[in-house]
Structure formats: structure tokens, C-alpha cells
């Protein structure tokens, strides 16, 4: 395949991966359909990334040593591809959260996101920081979670978008404040989200979703705390 055609096809596949991953994660409520969208996104990401650069081929099946060696080779030129693969993989794990084989890949996905942050801490207005915030607050400290590290990532995500990505505040409240039973922080963050009225085309859709979830969390606040 000619280089230009290969690059174009890789771009189309990676774009499709982003689209399927986003749509399935945000708009599909049925669990079975969500799995189908996530599987499709993973397939597109695997094909597109491998076409883009052989460095990304067969990442899901590589042994740990080879995976880590390849990940260390990823540089700024491959950042966009790495970010797509990592974000789609996160969505796939969420859709398959009842499958232990999927959950077992959490460590590998976390390493990928950490590599994105290492290359560019503010990439895509801190989206990778947001992912790390969630990952580090999945469990309480006694079970291996690192909530304070998660908090630092949530704060970095908010700073990277200058507060324009409201999802960072909603997830900060949902995953950190609830885990740590910090009602004051929970209420403060969610109130800021629902009362926000700025317009930003880059974030409008995600911000509306963030507001919807924030209202649900606030309505449940008294019972939770």
C-alpha cells in the first residue's frame, strides 16, 4: 500500500475509533449495545494504530517486557495515536467491566495514559489527567487506591482546561469526594458545575452531560453522606 494511502487509511480508522468510542460511551445506555460499540472502536484503533506505526501492532497480546519497551519508544510524533488507543481501551474496559479478562488489562492501560501525560501533561486540555484521576480513585487506600494522587490529577485536568471542561469537576466530586466522604468539596464542585453558564463550542456537549450527572449527584448527596 502506498505510504500516502496507508497514512490516510490509518487516519480514517483512528477517527472511526474515536467516534465509536465516544458515541458508545456517552449515548448508548443498553449494556449489550455498548459492548458492541466498544468492540468496534477497539478494532478500529488496533487496525489504525498498526497501520500508522508498527510500534503499535498487537499491543493487546504483547508480553509485558515487549509492551513496556515499545511504550518507551513512543514520542511526541505518536502522541495522538497513543492517546486514541488508550482512551478507546478505557472505554472498552468500562463496557466490559464484568469481564475479569478486560479488567486485568487495567495496569497496561494506566501505563499508556501515564505515557501520554509524560509526553504532554496538558494534552487535549488535560483529558489524560482526568483518566488518571479516575483510575487512582477506583479503590480506597486500604485496597490499593491512591486517592490523593487521583486528586492531583483531577486538579491538573481542571487547570489544563482553565476550568472549561466541567466533566473534570463532576468526576472529581464523583470519584474522589465521594470516596473520601468529603461532602463540602463534593457540594462545592458540583454547584460550580450546575451554575456554570459559559459557552465554549469545544466543550459544550461534554459540559451538558457533566451538568446532567452533577444534578443527579447533588440530588443524591444527602443520602450518600
pLDDT tens for each residue of 30-50: 999 999 999 999 999 999 999
Q: Work out the pLDDT band at 1, boundaries 50, 70, 90.
A: low
Q: For residues 57 and 38, what is the distance between their CA atoms, to the nearest angstrom?
A: 19
At residue 85's C-alpha, the angle toward residues 63 and 77, to 5°, is 100
Asked if the structure places residue 176 within a domain, the reply is no
Query: Looking at the 3D structure of the chain, how many domains does it have?
Result: 1
Asked if the structure places residue 67 within a domain, the reply is yes
Q: Work out the pLDDT band at 202, boundaries 50, 70, 90.
A: confident
In percent, the amount of the chain with pLDDT more than 90 equals 73
Q: Work out the pLDDT band at 86, boundaries 50, 70, 90.
A: very high
Provide the b/e sequence for 131-148 (b: ≥16 CB within 10 Å).
Answer: bbbbbbbeeeeeeebbbe
How confident is the model over 118-131, as a mean pLDDT? 94
Three cell numbers at 44?
A: 478500529
Q: Work out the pLDDT band at 159, boundaries 50, 70, 90.
A: very high
Q: What is the CATH number of the domain that holds 48?
A: 1.25.40.920
How confident is the model over 22-28, as a mean pLDDT? 84
114 has a pLDDT exceeding 80: yes
> How far is residue 210 from each of residues 18, 34, 51, 101, 119, measured CA to CA in Å?
19, 19, 35, 30, 27
**Per-residue pLDDT, 4:** 58
How confident is the model over 123-140, as a mean pLDDT? 92
Asked if the structure places residue 201 within a domain, the reply is no
Asked if the structure places residue 187 within a domain, the reply is no
2 has a pLDDT exceeding 80: no
Asked if the structure places residue 83 within a domain, the reply is yes
Asked if the structure places residue 190 within a domain, the reply is no
175 has a pLDDT exceeding 60: yes
Q: Work out the pLDDT band at 128, boundaries 50, 70, 90.
A: very high
**Per-residue pLDDT, 127:** 93
Q: For residues 161 and 7, what is the distance between their CA atoms, to the nearest angstrom?
A: 30
Asked if the structure places residue 30 within a domain, the reply is yes
Q: Which domain holds residue 37?
A: 1-120
Q: Work out the pLDDT band at 24, boundaries 50, 70, 90.
A: confident
Could you tell me the pTM of the whole model?
0.89
**Per-residue pLDDT, 195:** 97
Amino acid at each position: 500500500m502506498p505510504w500516502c494511502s496507508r497514512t490516510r487509511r490509518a487516519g480514517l480508522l483512528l477517527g472511526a475509533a474515536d467516534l465509536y468510542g465516544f458515541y458508545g460511551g456517552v449515548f448508548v445506555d443498553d449494556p449489550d449495545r455498548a459492548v458492541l460499540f466498544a468492540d468496534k472502536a477497539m478494532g478500529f484503533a488496533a487496525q489504525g494504530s498498526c497501520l500508522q506505526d508498527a510500534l503499535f501492532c498487537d499491543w493487546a497480546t504483547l508480553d509485558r517486557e515487549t509492551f513496556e519497551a515499545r511504550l518507551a519508544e513512543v514520542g511526541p510524533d505518536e502522541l495522538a495515536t497513543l492517546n486514541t488507543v488508550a482512551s478507546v481501551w478505557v472505554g472498552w474496559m468500562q463496557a466490559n467491566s464484568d469481564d475479569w479478562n478486560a479488567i486485568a488489562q487495567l495496569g497496561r492501560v494506566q501505563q499508556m495514559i501515564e505515557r501520554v501525560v509524560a509526553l504532554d501533561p496538558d494534552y487535549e486540555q488535560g483529558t489524560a489527567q482526568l483518566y488518571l484521576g479516575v483510575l487512582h480513585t477506583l479503590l480506597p487506600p486500604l485496597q490499593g487506591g491512591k486517592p490523593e494522587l487521583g486528586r492531583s490529577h483531577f486538579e491538573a485536568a481542571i487547570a489544563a482546561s482553565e476550568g472549561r471542561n466541567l466533566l473534570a469537576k463532576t468526576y472529581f466530586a464523583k470519584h474522589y469526594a465521594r470516596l473520601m466522604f468529603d461532602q463540602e468539596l463534593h457540594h462545592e464542585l458540583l454547584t460550580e458545575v450546575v451554575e456554570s453558564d459559559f459557552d465554549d463550542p469545544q466543550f459544550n456537549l461534554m459540559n451538558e452531560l457533566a451538568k446532567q450527572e452533577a444534578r443527579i449527584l447533588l440530588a443524591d448527596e444527602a443520602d450518600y453522606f
